[in-house]
């Protein structure tokens, strides 16, 4: 057991779930006993950044998705539950009557009107450009984590009617599901849920470290001179065929200022036209990472395949390293076992969406 194994399960890391997140044990084992800056160019919810914080290492996360960035940013802040609660109270008080509410059958069945009013008040307040700081970052992530999920029997942990935790379903399907089961939304107090969640996420959080989380395309993102160069890169690129990081997060994206309905044409993060085109795109990321890293930088990759899109994850990731102009030497390729989180999440909404995913871990070193 690593010294950090206990705090690895600190609720700050689970402040909001994220589709295809990895467990902190993977970055922790890659980083244990090391020093220097840590990068994750596909940071998702910021698990690598959280692991770096546990180990006292400075760290940077980059992701193209605003939802991922909003969640990952909370992994690096130092704030108190009380500051987060006070801010929530202030935003609900000042924006409750003025905030615009989305309308339509989905919204009527997804949230109780009063809960939606409180959500919209916090949303409006957080969208105010002048509102920055650690408490706002924490509140944003807490709200994203509570926005949708399963209904509790007595205590409620989520604002919504029955929904999955990690992704938001298509509005028409969700409406059909609720109507068929006569499920109407109950009133849930935003204040109560934020209070409980903020206390869990902020209480006993590990000491903060230097670093930042950036919304950018890792194929070409340029990082500020104040961070890096990186000694360790721990990451998990999107699995080939996984194209729904934006559209499946549409409800959280709405909370961050996006549209009131999903846009299923907007999932073009990497070129997925063929495995070769995909490997070429990932190679650009390895080159960009190399530009910001020291010689000897260690790259730890977790990668897998989507059951519905047959591909060889090992071949694909090794191809991406070979295609890179930078000199990455592969040290090891190991089986990481089967991940079934996608299946678990789908079960919460009443249907099984996918089979378990087989994953591999690849370690490489930057030569020269
Ligand atoms: C497998 S997930 C990473 C999950 C992460 N390890 C965690 O624990 O949450 C891959 C991430 O890559 C991001 N992504 C896809 N294309 C990207 C690009 N061109 N630049 C930066 N991030 C990208 C997606 O938004 C997604 O969050």
Ordered by start, the domain boundaries in the chain are 7-66+209-366, 81-202
333 CA distance to ligand 1 middle (Å):
21
The closest residue, in CA terms, to atom 3 on ligand 1 is 44
Q: Does residue 32 surpass a pLDDT of 70?
A: yes
Distance 7 CA to ligand 1 centre (A): 24
Distance 177 CA to ligand 1 centre (A): 30
Looking at the CA of residue 219, tell me the nearest atom of ligand 1.
Answer: 19
pLDDT on residue 265: 66
Q: Is 300 in the pocket of ligand 1 (CB under 6 A)?
A: no
Asked whether 284 lines ligand 1 (CB < 6 A), one says no
Residue with more model confidence, 259 or 142:
142
Which of 111-115, 166-170, 245-249 is most confident? 111-115
CATH fold group of domain 7-66+209-366? Rossmann fold (3.40.50)
pLDDT of residue 272 exceeding 80: no
Assess whether the C-beta atom of 147 lies below 6 angstroms from ligand 1: no
Q: How confident is the model at residue 244 (pLDDT cuts 50, 70, 90)?
A: low
Model pLDDT for residues 190-214, shown as the tens digit of each residue: 999 999 999 999 999 999 999 999 9
**Average pLDDT in the 322-328 region?**
98
pLDDT of residue 159: 98
Distances from the Cα of 107 to the Cαs of 116, 118, 247, 255, 262, in angstroms?
8, 14, 17, 13, 13
Residue 353 pLDDT: 46
- Would you say the CB of residue 166 lies under 6 angstroms from ligand 1? no
Kindly report, residue by residue over 339-367, the tens digit of the pLDDT: 544 443 333 334 334 555 678 999 999 99
Residue 18 Cβ < 6 Å to ligand 1: yes
The pLDDT value given to residue 345: 32
Summary mean pLDDT of the chain: 89
What local confidence, expressed as pLDDT, does residue 356 receive?
53
CA 118 to ligand 1 centroid distance, Å: 30
Residue 69 pLDDT more than 60?
A: yes
Q: What is the pTM of this model?
A: 0.92
Please tell me if the CB atom of residue 20 comes closer than 6 angstroms to any atom of ligand 1.
yes
**Is 37's C-beta closer than 6 angstroms to any atom of ligand 1?**
no
Answer yes or no: is the C-beta of 236 below 6 A from any ligand 1 atom: yes
Q: Is pLDDT above 80 for 237?
A: yes
Tell me: pLDDT of 65 over 80: yes
pLDDT value of residue 125: 95
Tens-place pLDDT, residues 103-143: 999 999 999 999 999 999 999 999 986 667 999 999 999 99
pLDDT digits (tens, 9 = 90+) for 143-158: 999 999 999 999 999 9
The two tokens of residue 301 are 């990759």
Q: What is the pLDDT of residue 158?
A: 97
pLDDT of 167 higher than 80? yes
- By percentage, how much of the chain surpasses pLDDT 70? 89
pLDDT tens digits along 1-27: 344 446 788 999 999 988 777 889 999
Query: Quick check: CB of 44 below 6 Å from ligand 1?
Result: yes
CB distance 125 to ligand 1 below 6 Å: no
């Amino acid at each position: 057991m690593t010294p950090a194994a206990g705090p690895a399960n600190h609720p700050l890391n689970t402040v909001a779930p994220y589709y295809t997140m990895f467990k902190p044990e993977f970055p922790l084992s890659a980083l244990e006993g090391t020093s220097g800056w840590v990068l994750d160019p596909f940071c998702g919810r910021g698990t690598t950044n959280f692991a770096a914080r546990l180990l006292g290492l400075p760290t940077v996360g980059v992701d193209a998705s605003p939802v991922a960035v909003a969640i990952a940013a909370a992994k690096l802040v130092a704030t108190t539950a009380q500051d987060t609660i006070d801010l929530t109270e202030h935003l609900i008080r000042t924006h409750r009557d003025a905030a615009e509410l989305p309308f339509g059958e989905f919204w009527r069945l997804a949230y109780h009107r009063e809960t939606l009013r409180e959500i919209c008040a916090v949303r409006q307040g957080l969208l105010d450009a002048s509102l920055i700081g650690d408490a706002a970052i924490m509140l944003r992530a807490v709200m994203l984590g509570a926005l949708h999920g399963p209904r509790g029997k007595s205590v409620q942990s989520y604002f919504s009617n029955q929904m999955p935790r990690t992704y938001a379903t298509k509005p028409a399907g969700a409406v059909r599901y609720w109507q068929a089961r006569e499920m109407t939304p109950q009133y849930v107090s935003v204040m109560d849920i934020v209070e409980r969640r903020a206390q869990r996420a902020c209480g006993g959080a590990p000491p903060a470290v230097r670093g930042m989380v950036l919304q950018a395309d890792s194929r070409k993102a340029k990082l500020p001179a104040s961070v890096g160069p990186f000694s360790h890169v721990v990451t998990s690129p999107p699995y080939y065929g996984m194209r729904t990081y934006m559209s499946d997060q549409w409800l959280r994206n709405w909370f961050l200022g996006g549209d009131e309905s999903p846009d299923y044409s907007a999932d073009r993060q990497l070129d997925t036209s063929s495995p070769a085109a995909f490997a070429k795109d990932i190679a650009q990321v390895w080159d960009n990472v190399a530009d910001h890293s020291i010689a000897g930088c260690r790259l730890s990759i977790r990668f897998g395949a989507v059951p519905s899109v047959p591909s060889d994850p090992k071949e694909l990731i090794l191809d991406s390293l070979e295609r890179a102009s930078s000199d990455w030497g592969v040290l090891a390729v190991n089986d990481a076992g089967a991940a079934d989180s996608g299946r678990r999440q789908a079960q919460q909404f009443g249907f099984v969406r996918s089979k378990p995913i087989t994953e591999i871990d690849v370690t490489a070193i930057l030569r020269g």
